[in-house]
A and B are shown apart, each in its own frame.
Chain A
Amino acid sequence: MIEVEHLTKKYGEARGINDVTFSVEKGEILGFLGPNGAGKTTTMRILTCFMPATSGTARVAGYDVFEDSLNVRRRIGYLPETVPLYTDMQVPTYLKFVAGLKDVPYREINSRVGELMERVGLTHMAHKFIGELSKGYRQRVGLAQSLINDPEVLVLDEPTIGLDPKQIIEIRSLIKGLAGERTIILSSHILPEVSAICKRIIIIDEGRVKAIDTPENLTTQLRVSDKVRARIGGPKEDVVKALWAMEGVKNVETGAGAEDSLPYVVEFSDGTIDRSSQVARAIVEKRWDLYELMPVKMSLEDIFIKIVTEEGN
């Protein structure tokens, strides 16, 4: 549905994005993950035909975003990060205006607007001017606006930014409900959000693609911990010595806590297999008490930071 090849955008000397390549299948939800200023918005602006790329190509639904921009724009729904709306218009008036521009047949405009307002929960705001709405409701207007022409491709730039937790959950479930027929690209710098919604994630930093994979794969690839945390009851120095004596140990840290059950974190040099059992055996052999034992899981945040910093160096 979306094919992006070697996309580069320069702003003067500064580079927006550099040689970005990826593709999205029909019906897929793709997450764009990256710190602020990584190039997420730039990529989305190119895909939505707002700005042309310096080099490289991007095709949406088979149409080139530069050569065939009108055909792409007819098939796309876009919600920019700042949710720019005409504050001096009433909600239905605005949606009708957008529907008209986005080629919704004239006779269907009214029913389409009513239907969407109900779907995003705006019906009771019909008499209000957009300028009077709270951030959460504006976000819904923005979402309704992007959906008005029943687009094949939906591009959402940070759709939950600035919302309260309840609204975030609502918008998220709304987006999830849209999946299926539609292809969705959404960007975020919040990891749990992306992993909750998306089937596939692109990690982007400093304008470059750092990783593309499913959230599960990204996690399993890296998550199998290289660290094991254990609370052990035993003489501290002996315990540390025993832990160091294990095979493949890189580091042992002692935490603070009660004397008779100090926490230790053992780091192994090879993180591809679970080492918990190995630690357990070592403790039990010495007949010390084992209160707690678990691999330290890497959160998506850790993975993200790991990928971004590793590649950076």
Chain B
Amino acid sequence: MKNFIFILVKEIRSYFNSPVAFVVATIFAVLTGYQFYVIFAKFSQLSFEVQTNPTIASQFGALNVTEMVIRPFFNVVAVVMLIMLPMLTMRAFAEEWKAGTMELLLTFPVRDEEAIMGKFAGCMGIFTMMLLLSLPSVALVGYFGDPEWEVVVTGYMGLFLMGGAFVSLGIFMSSITENQVIAAALSFAALLLLYMVGYTAGLVGETTGKVLEYLSIMFHFEKFAKGVLDTSDIIYYLIFMALFLFLSMRSLESKRWRG
């Protein structure tokens, strides 16, 4: 536990000492903020038109700010996460393998799992800060409208769990190579693939489709964004994280043997 905290603190410190945290968080805030502006501005334009023109109103029915702003916004955040998180996780182990600092770290009285969990938690810390940067947007919706706050809460829970899955996969990719670009490319490709398999679900047979849908990393987020907490979704993300953190451990071990 003590080692875990020392490594966690060191990780967060080095994210801020090198500008990685600032760069990634800024890009994240700009992209999501911009998309939020587009979504919110469209919504207010629409509601203005509905007020002045009753024929449009009958077309849309009641305008729901949760469904038309909050949910699309969460989906945008999820996609930006998919792009930005590999850049956060790529350095986790790859940098240390390259610099040779891994050799020293592994000769300290630190268990492999403490090192991995410390790095995982460090990335999660930075990711949480990034996620907090999207709160003002949601607060703005709350100021001007009346969203369903339960959906906001479950949505953020979903984003957090999905981010954990992204980070664990990124950490694993970073543990198998000493090249940060390869680590980022591999994790981005893997996440994108896991994102896309959901779309092919309708094209294949029913059973295969179900399997693909279940594998899809975004499919499990949809219910969170609708305000539904489903244990199977939570378990999916937890198993996902456990699997890739375990694989990272095996990867460290195998690197040790090969020297």
A interface residue numbers (CB < 8 A to B): 9, 11, 16, 42, 45, 48-52, 70, 73-74, 76, 78, 80, 82, 84-89, 93, 97-98, 100-103, 129, 145
Question: How far is the CB of A177 from the nearest CB of chain B, in Å?
Answer: 23
Q: A84-B100, A88-B14 are in contact. List 20 more A-B contacts (CB 8 A).
A: A9-B259, A11-B258, A16-B259, A45-B103, A48-B107, A49-B107, A50-B106, A50-B256, A51-B256, A73-B110, A82-B100, A85-B101, A86-B14, A86-B99, A87-B99, A89-B10, A100-B2, A100-B3, A101-B6, A103-B109
* Cβ-defined contact, B103 with A50, below 8 A: yes
Residue B143 CB within 8 A of the other chain: no
Chain A residues whose C-beta falls within 8 Å of the C-beta of B259 in the assembled complex: 9, 11, 16, 42, 45, 51
Asked if B111 contacts A84 (CB within 8 A), the reply is no
Query: Which B residues are in CB contact (< 8 Å) with A70?
Result: 109, 111
B99 to A84, Cβ gap below 8 A? Answer: yes
**When chains A and B are docked, how far (Å) is the Cα of A78 from the Cα of B111?**
17
Residue in contact with A93 in the complex, picked from B13, B100, B256, B257, CB distance below 8 Å: B13
Measured as residues with beta carbon below 8 angstroms from the partner, the interface class of chain B is: 20 to 34
**Which of the residues B6, B13, B104, B107 comes within 8 Å of A89, measured between beta carbons?**
B13
Residue ID in chain A nearest B111 by CB atoms: A70
Q: How far is the CA of A198 from the CA of B13 in the complex (A)?
A: 40
Complex contact A88–B18 (CB within 8 A): yes
CB of B108, distance to nearest CB on chain A (Å): 4
Residues in B whose Cβ lies below 8 Å from that of A98 = 108
**Which residue from chain A places its CB closest to the CB of B101 in the assembled complex?**
A84
Chosen A-B contacts, 10 in total, with CB atoms closer than 8 Å, are A50-B107, A70-B111, A73-B110, A84-B99, A86-B10, A86-B101, A87-B99, A97-B9, A100-B2, A102-B108
Q: What is the interface of chain B mostly: helix, strand, loop, or mixed?
A: helix
Compute how far the CA of A88 lies from the CA of B9 in the bound complex, rounded to whole angstroms.
14
Could you say which of B2, B102, B109 has the most chain A C-beta atoms within 10 Å of its C-beta? B109
Which residues of the other chain, B, contact A84 by a CB distance below 8 angstroms?
Answer: 99-104
CB of A86, distance to nearest CB on chain B (Å): 6
Tell me whether A97 and B103 are in contact (CB under 8 A).
no
> Which residues of A are found within 8 Å of B59, using beta-carbon distances?
none
With A45-B259, A52-B256, A82-B100 as given contacts, are A88 and B17 in contact (CB-CB < 8 Å)? yes
A-side contacts of B104, CB under 8 Å: 78, 80, 84-85, 145
Closest to A46 in B: B259
CA distance A76 to B109 in the complex (A): 9
**Are B109 and A100 closer than 8 Å at their CB atoms?**
no
Minimal Cβ-Cβ distance residue in B for A129: B17
Assembled-state Cα–Cα distance A85/B100 (Å): 8
A145 to B104, CA, bound (A): 10
Question: A48 CB to closest chain B CB, in angstroms?
Answer: 4
Q: Does B109 contact A80, Cβ atoms closer than 8 Å?
A: no
CA distance A82 to B100 in the complex (A): 8
Binary per-residue interface labels of chain B (239-259) against chain A in the complex, 1 for a CB within 8 Å, 0 otherwise: 000000000000000001111
> Which of B6, B17, B102 interacts with A100 by CB under 8 Å?
B6
A78 and B107 form a contact (CB under 8 A): yes
User: In the docked arrangement, what's the CA distance between A52 and B17, Å?
Assistant: 34
Q: Is the CB of A74 within 8 A of B18?
A: no
What CA separation (Å) do A98 and B256 show in the bound complex? 21
| Complex Cα gap A93–B13 (Å) | 10
B111 cross-chain contacts in A, Cβ below 8 A: 70
Contact status B107-A73, CB under 8 Å: yes
Chain B residues near A89 (CB-CB < 8 A)? 10, 13-14, 17
B24 to chain A minimum Cβ distance, whole angstroms, is 16
User: Complex formed: what's the CA distance from A48 to B106 in Å?
Assistant: 9
A80-B258 in contact (CB<8A): no
Q: Are B107 and A101 in contact (CB under 8 A)?
A: no
Residues of A within 8 A of B18 (CB): 88
- Chain A residues with Cβ below 8 Å from B7 are 101
Residue of A nearest to B20 (CB): A88
Q: A42-B259, A52-B256 are in contact. Are A80 and B100 (CB under 8 A)?
A: yes
Contact status of A73 and B17, CB under 8 A, knowing A80-B100, A82-B100:
no
How near does chain B come to A139, taking the closest CB pair, in angstroms? 14
Contact B257 A101 (CB under 8 A): no
Report which of B99, B101, B108, B256 forms a contact with A73, defined as CB distance below 8 A: B108
